[in-house]
Structure 1
Amino acid sequence: MHGVDGTGTADRAGGADRAGGADRNGRVAEFEELRPLLFSIAYRVLGSVGEAEDAVQEAWLRFDASTTRPESVRAFLSATVTRISIDVLRSARVRREKYVGPWLPEPLLDDPYQDPARAAELADSVSMAALLLLERLSPLERSVFVLREVFAFGFDEIASAVGRSEAACRQLLVRARRHMAEGRPRFEADRRERQELAERFFGALSLGDVAGLRQLLAADVRMVGDSGGKAPRLARAVAGAENAARLLAAVYPLMAEVGITFQRREVNGQPGAIFRDRDGRVLHALVLDVADGRIRTVRAVINPDKLGHLGPVADAWALDREVKRARRAARP
């Protein structure tokens, strides 16, 4: 009798284990299906690949540890990753206030979330220019704007995600839209125009063609480099087409001389390139902001802490010394 009871108990335990395993496997599958959406939400709120990946992982841990099944897994996980991102952003704001030099988002080569119905909103919202505009918003405004304008969440879902009433979320959205609209260029370039300008820009850059570069740059173009104090500054407050064209035309041939190459890539949905040393290690990411038929901003992310997700990172200080030696050798 004991043996039968024991066997029955073991069978029931084994069945429970198998059921529990099946349930967890189901959770894993549901989570993995939603992972691209969760990362895309977190990245737009945080502007950091690493922090977004950490927020997604924390959302999984909370989902895996929950003892009840949410009515909507998508709503639960979206709300969870949003709340985590808001908390991270609040602490990140303090760090960014102490950041050395200009702060730029971490470069993103591929947005994992694809939705043909919202392709334009998704591409626009991940650009460096848009992410920098989002930096002007409070964490709550930023989250509401991302969930509503980019991912078309309902106000009931947004209210649950940010812990505010629907009426409050509508007010947050109004303020966010106003701030975003104030900072946008009057005429934005379409994709084809951006690509054509970028092709000409990188061609002129390769040749060190000052005149070719000058005619592509807006009169008030700005060059911005984000080194975070951890790499040589790529550009020191360079503004104006003449200054920028001369600097670019002078520096790239010297970089090429020490084995630095670039690969054209879309960076944050905008034309750009990844620069590498002679061993293929990442030196920096360059992004072009195009509007009104000209390149308005040239942004370079050179902080090594922001490049690790793109591959092994180059020693920017050593390369800077090589470029300076090449410059001295080139002088008559």
Structure 2
Amino acid sequence: MSTSSSRPHDSDPLAPYRGRLLGLAYRMLGSRSDAEDVVQDAYLRFAGAQDVHNAEAFLVTAVTRLCLDRLKSAKAQREIYIGPWLPEPVFDAESLSADAATELADDLSFALLLALDRLSPMERAAFLLHDVFDTPFSEIAAMLDHSEAACRQLASRARRAVRANRPLPAAAPDNHARLLRAFSEAVASGDVSRLAELLREDAVAITDGGGRKFAARNPIVGKDKVARFFVGIAGTTAGQEVRVEPAVINGAIGALLYLDDELDLTLSMAIDGEKIAAIYVVRNPDKLRHAPRPS
């Protein structure tokens, strides 16, 4: 972590640290809206503090602890969440940069965020701070109020768990775009067989409606079931104006689907070679507030 003894600039107090703080909070919480709230709360703590010798360290510590507090309450809320939970999509991944030369620094894929969500809050914090944000364990120990050895163990357990659920490498943009286009065309034409051919045998579809929009209550597994599900859903839009627009979602090519000029869902994919391995659909309106407006 860089060291800075000065306070943030008056014009935009968080400017030097905003990307790092938002990136940490978003990866911890899976919510852009909550991440922004946490970063603002951290700055308010900073503004009221005295004798701060390292502004960045103070702010990162505050964000980490505020996220841990939120995750405690989120656990109870998640238990009553209707259907599968997916992270809130982001459309400006570059603004959440980890700003570190690590393998996972630019990975904001849904697959990685879901792997992080399976960790305990303390494991998540230790892993992100060290492996993604390149923070020394001596500093992490102070942030988490644990011994350095304990923080190493937390990060090690998290690392093993993330590797066990290792997200697929990012597909080449051209290949990703080609498969997304073929998927959209197969769904629009109602061709279940053609759609199934695009999917990996064990393909999974996860849909998040948050109880506010229709979505499958459980993940759909298997290429034939996934294909029938999406073709069936497409059949319910008869009589509505349907428009699909490409978009960069969590750093990868995805799509926005509009019904009668209202955003209905975001769609993201994980690609394995020439096949679609996973499809993530977010319909919960609370998670679409930062989506681009119709062009």
Hey, what does 2:151 align to over in structure 1?
Answer: 169
Hey, what does 1:300 align to over in structure 2?
Answer: 281
Provide the identity percentage. 37
Write out per-residue CA displacement over residues 58-91 of structure 1, whole angstroms, 9 at most, x where no aligned residue. Answer: 01110111122x2221111111111111111111
Shift of 1:94: 1.4
Equivalent position to 1:53, from 18, 33, 36 = 36
Which residue type is aligned with residue 136 of structure 1?
A: R
Hey, what does 2:210 align to over in structure 1?
Answer: 228
CA distance in 2, matches of 1:160, 1:251: 50
CA distance in 1, matches of 2:171, 2:214: 33
CA distance in 2, matches of 1:291, 1:254: 29
CA pair 256-291 structure 1, distance change in 2 beyond 3 A: farther
Shift of 1:120: 5.0
The reply to whether residue 218 of structure 1 matches residue 203 of structure 2 is no
Shift of 1:151: 1.3
Greater Cα offset, 201-210 or 137-146: 201-210
Pair member with larger Rg: 1
Write out per-residue CA displacement over residues 144-169 of structure 1, whole angstroms, 9 at most, x where no aligned residue. Answer: 11111111111122222222121111
**TM-score after normalising by structure 1:** 0.78
Q: Secondary structure of 1:62's match?
A: helix
The reply to whether residue 83 of structure 1 matches residue 55 of structure 2 is no
Hey, what does 2:222 align to over in structure 1?
Answer: 240
Q: Which has the higher helix share?
A: 1
C-alpha contact 1:234 1:302 (8 A) present in aligned 2: no
Greater Cα offset, 197-206 or 50-59: 197-206
Aligned length: 287
Equivalent position to 1:99, from 51, 76, 81 = 81
C-alpha contact 1:189 1:292 (8 A) present in aligned 2: no
The reply to whether residue 148 of structure 1 matches residue 133 of structure 2 is no
Q: 1:172-321 to 2 correspondence within 5 Å? A: 172-184=154-166, 188-192=169-173, 193-233=175-215, 237-252=219-234, 255=237, 257-279=239-261, 281-310=262-291
The reply to whether residue 43 of structure 1 matches residue 26 of structure 2 is yes
CA pair 28-90 structure 1, distance change in 2 beyond 3 A: farther
The reply to whether residue 66 of structure 1 matches residue 86 of structure 2 is no
CA distance in 2, matches of 1:119, 1:177: 13
Hey, what does 1:318 align to over in structure 2?
Answer: none
Shift of 1:219: 1.1
Write out per-residue CA displacement over residues 3-36 of structure 1, whole angstroms, 9 at most, x where no aligned residue. Answer: xxxxxxxxxxxxxxxxxxxx98835544222111
Shift of 1:92: 0.5
Q: Secondary structure of 2:75's match?
A: helix
CA distance in 2, matches of 1:144, 1:115: 14
Shift of 1:119: 7.6
C-alpha contact 2:20 2:98 (8 A) present in aligned 1: no
Q: Secondary structure of 1:265's match?
A: strand
Shift of 1:235: 7.5
Greater Cα offset, 56-65 or 299-308: 299-308
CA pair 127-105 structure 1, distance change in 2 beyond 3 A: same
CA distance in 1, matches of 2:238, 2:247: 18
